[in-house]
């Protein structure tokens, strides 16, 4: 049975469209000629959901929140990549308001007890940033390669929270933090450091110049990750497959 989304509280000026099934909410918003700032597209089911670098995002219908938001920040376009950090923090703080203490695995995965609960994908079009969010809500378990790696609100004891309430809180936090990627970015970084799941841990990561391994020192003032490697202290603006050594 489809959920009733009529009770979702939206930020001022935002709109919500719900579809039964679609290939990908990010792809659909990118196909549209000019989505309006604050357009939220939510799918009950995605057939081709994806994460960063094209990784598949698996979401069983009725168990996840899978949606995308079109944003047009007032900040210069060069700063729009910071939306990934802002979104991860927004989801983590929304979960905290709902009784779950979450951490952010740089740059934007959201974890609880070291297990992934939410993934974020930010893509840019000519005029907009498309923020895709996949959040596990009602899964009672995960099998295969996700066993012990993923978690859900249900597994963490908050399966009683209606999905429409989860969406309302996440959108409110996203609206707030997405406006702070310019002059207020220092405040965002302070809060992000408090929830950083990698601080002090040894990680392996895939950067544009190859694999690296070292101990995470901090998230820098610009949102970059500082890592103490064998080659010295290195600064990473982007990286794929960031994994805590010994926890794979």
Per-residue pLDDT of the chain (248 residues; tens, 9 = 90+): 467 899 999 999 999 999 999 999 999 999 998 889 999 999 998 887 555 444 555 556 678 999 999 999 999 999 999 999 999 999 999 999 999 999 999 998 999 999 999 999 999 998 899 999 999 999 998 878 888 889 999 999 999 999 999 999 999 999 999 999 999 999 999 999 999 999 999 999 999 899 999 999 999 999 999 999 999 999 999 998 899 997 64
33, HSE (Cβ side, Cα atoms, 13 Å): 0
Q: How far apart are CA 224 and CA 234, in angstroms?
A: 10
Tell me the three state secondary structure of residue 205: strand
pTM of whole model > 0.85? yes
Pick 15-194's CATH classification: 3.30.930.10, 3.30.70.100, 3.40.50.300, 3.40.50.2000. 3.30.930.10
Q: What are phi and psi for residue 228, nearest 5 degrees?
A: -85, 100
Q: How far apart are CA 96 and CA 118, in angstroms?
A: 14
- Whole-number pLDDT of residue 58: 54
- Whole-number pLDDT of residue 53: 47
- Whole-number pLDDT of residue 4: 86
Give which of 108, 132, 69, 134 is closest to 197, Cα–Cα: 108
Q: Do domains 15-194 and 202-244 have the same CATH topology?
A: no
Residue pair 234/241 in contact by the 8 Å Cβ criterion: no
Q: How far apart are CA 209 and CA 231, in angstroms?
A: 13
Q: What class is the 202-244 domain?
A: mainly beta
Q: Residue 19 is encoded by which pair of tokens?
A: 């579809």
- Whole-number pLDDT of residue 143: 77
Which residue ranges make up each domain of the chain?
A: 15-194, 202-244
- Whole-number pLDDT of residue 59: 59
Q: How far apart are CA 47 and CA 231, in angstroms?
A: 43
List, in order, residues 6 or more apart from 69 with CB less than 8 Å away: 14, 38, 39, 40, 41, 130, 131, 133, 171, 174
Residues in the chain, how many?
A: 248
């Amino acid at each position: 049975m489809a959920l009733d989304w009529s009770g979702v509280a939206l930020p001022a000026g935002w709109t919500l469209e719900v579809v039964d099934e679609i290939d990908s909410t990010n792809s659909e918003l990118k196909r549209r000629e000019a989505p309006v700032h604050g357009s939220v597209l939510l799918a009950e089911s995605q057939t081709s959901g994806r994460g960063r670098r094209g990784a598949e995002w698996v979401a069983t219908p009725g168990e996840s929140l899978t949606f995308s938001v079109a944003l047009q920040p007032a900040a210069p376009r060069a700063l729009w990549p910071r939306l990934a950090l802002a979104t991860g923090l927004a989801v983590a703080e929304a979960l905290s308001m709902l009784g779950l203490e979450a951490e952010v695995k740089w740059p934007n995965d959201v974890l609880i007890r070291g297990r992934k609960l939410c993934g974020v994908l930010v893509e840019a079009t000519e005029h907009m940033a498309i923020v895709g969010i996949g959040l596990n809500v009602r899964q009672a378990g995960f099998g295969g390669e996700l066993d012990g790696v993923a978690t859900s609100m249900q597994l963490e004891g908050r399966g009683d929270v209606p999905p429409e309430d989860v969406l309302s809180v996440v959108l409110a936090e996203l609206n707030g933090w997405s406006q702070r990627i310019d002059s207020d970015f220092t405040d965002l970084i302070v809060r992000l450091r408090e929830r950083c799941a990698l601080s002090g841990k040894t990680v392996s990561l895939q950067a544009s110049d190859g694999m690296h391994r070292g101990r995470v020192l901090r998230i820098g003032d610009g949102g970059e990750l500082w890592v103490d490697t064998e080659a010295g202290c290195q600064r990473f603006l982007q990286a794929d497959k960031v994994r805590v050594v010994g926890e794979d």
